[in-house]
Amino acid sequence: MTRPTSLTELARRILESAERIEGKVDGEVDGKHARQDLVEAVREMQLSTTGPSELLEQHQMHYQSLSCLGWLIHFNIFTHVPVDLTPIAYTDLAAAAQVPLARLQSVARMAMTSSLFAEPAPTHIAHSALSASFAADPHLRHWARFMTSYSAPTAAAFAEATARWGETTAKNETAYNVAFGTSLPFFAHVKESPGMAELFAAYMRSQGQSEGGRLTHLVDGFDWGGLDEGAQVVDVGGSTGQASIALAAAYPGLHFTVQDLPETIASAPAALSALPAPVAARLRFAAHDFFAPQPAPQSGRAPDIYLLRKILHDWPVARARDILDRLAVALRDGGNPRARLVVMDTILPPPGAVGRLQEAGLRVRDLTMAQSFNSKERELAEWEELFASAEPKLRLRAWKQPYGSTMAVMEVGLDGCD
């Protein structure tokens, strides 16, 4: 990608994108494309006019804004402010949230520089349209709580972890271990920490609400409708079944088995009880560790698809290969010669191949994997190499990057079986 260096060219892009969004040009207006073009151009303009001291000042603003977001979430400020945009006195809000008045005003006024909240009078605060979204949507609050309570402290400990352990793939030698003073790997620590398993599950569900992580990208990113009536899909490491639920709702001819560890599967009845009966009837949950061999089919029909959504990126190469080995054996010995894997994970682009803002989002995912799991996001050649290293050997048959998705959908089968 050739990045523009002319401020005039960037200004022209900003104007053209704004006009497309406002419908001032002829033809169909693709709102998502126009909005992304606008955001990318604005970001490029900002970077082109930023000097080194300004960059540091911006980083100071960012980490203080993040600190304020964590404070607002911790004290439930979003839900204490009337969601109908009616102002509330700072004194009343401080009393309701049981926080010091001066601290509340300092935090809120910093948050306002990020368009969170408004101050219609010096003595009152009200929701902005943006902060009202956090009040109305618990998924956003779960996302913010996990990010400020766990992700940010983990990132801050990254340098210390590297200094302590250097080049390592051990799951308990990570920035997360430094940040939270534990010798347990991430998921073991989640299991042992009261309330954290529920928060992590809520955070994972919230990711399905983000533009880049929407489940519609999975629903539309593979030819699910081309599977036979009654086809069996095994959702490997499927948590509480959010991906399978979305697919089951969209494709009434498919049946799903959601596999995860026993403590996760224990919440399955609650997930099923909230679903329409025709969807719930085609879902079952089964306790299974994906490092163990796949169990024999219980339905009488061998699985057609093994789905792995956001699974392999959690693991360094050797452990990811162990997961794939078990699934490759299941493909070979399962009795269905057309069975295959559908892997939904990030494919990192070469540096500079996409817009800076899009690339930054992908690099965030890559660093998150390193900091919590000593893993990484992978480039296309690394995915091909990983699949080929499985025993029996697998091959990437095809892949698709749905528009707006942070992840690609990869179709993988046994090498030599078409």
The total domain count for the chain is 4
What is d(CA 327, CA 216) in angstroms, rounded to the nearest whole number?
25
Give the mean pLDDT of 97-126: 98
> Does residue 26 sit in the same domain as residue 163?
no
> Does residue 149 sit in the same domain as residue 112?
no
- Contact between residue 234 and residue 303 where contact means Cβ atoms under 8 Å apart: yes
pLDDT over 80 at 54, yes or no: yes
> Does residue 132 sit in the same domain as residue 142?
no
Which structural domain, as residue segments, surrounds residue 121? 58-136
pLDDT over 70 at 3, yes or no: no
Residue 298 confidence class, pLDDT cut points 50, 70, 90:
low
Question: Ranked by mean pLDDT, which of 32-41, 206-215, 254-263 comes out on top?
Answer: 254-263
Q: Which pLDDT value is given to residue 346?
A: 94
Confirm whether 366 is domain-assigned: no
pLDDT over 60 at 168, yes or no: yes
What is d(CA 37, CA 33) in angstroms, rounded to the nearest whole number?
6
pLDDT over 50 at 92, yes or no: yes
Residue 335 confidence class, pLDDT cut points 50, 70, 90:
confident
Candidate from 20-29, 183-192, 193-202, 251-260 with smallest mean pLDDT: 20-29
pLDDT over 70 at 299, yes or no: no
Confirm whether 372 is domain-assigned: no
Confirm whether 363 is domain-assigned: no
pLDDT over 90 at 357, yes or no: no
Give the mean pLDDT of 13-28: 73
Angle 255-288-412 from CA coordinates, rounded to 5°: 60
pLDDT over 90 at 49, yes or no: no
Candidate from 12-21, 122-131, 208-217, 242-251 with smallest mean pLDDT: 208-217
> Does residue 181 sit in the same domain as residue 40?
no
> Does residue 148 sit in the same domain as residue 44?
no
Domain boundary, last residue among 206, 224, 241 = 206
Confirm whether 369 is domain-assigned: no
> Does residue 143 sit in the same domain as residue 132?
no
> Does residue 302 sit in the same domain as residue 266?
yes
Domain containing residue 305: CATH number = 3.40.50.150
Confirm whether 2 is domain-assigned: no
Residue 141 confidence class, pLDDT cut points 50, 70, 90:
very high
Put the strands of the sheet holding 283-287 in their side by side order: 283-287, 255-260, 232-236, 305-309, 340-345, 408-414, 394-400
Domain boundary, last residue among 206, 237, 259 = 206
Q: What does the block give as tokens for 224?
A: 């699910």
> Does residue 161 sit in the same domain as residue 261?
no
Known catalytic residues? 313
Q: Which pLDDT value is given to residue 110?
A: 98
> Does residue 194 sit in the same domain as residue 68?
no
> Does residue 186 sit in the same domain as residue 111?
no
> Does residue 123 sit in the same domain as residue 218?
no
- Contact between residue 346 and residue 360 where contact means Cβ atoms under 8 Å apart: no
Mean pLDDT score across all residues of the chain:
91
Q: What does the block give as tokens for 295?
A: 């169990």
What is d(CA 71, CA 64) in angstroms, rounded to the nearest whole number?
10
pLDDT over 80 at 27, yes or no: no
Give the mean pLDDT of 383-397: 97
H helix count then E strand count, the chain: 21, 12
Q: Sign of the C-alpha dihedral, residues 70, 213, 271, 265?
A: negative
> Does residue 336 sit in the same domain as residue 295?
yes
Confirm whether 245 is domain-assigned: yes
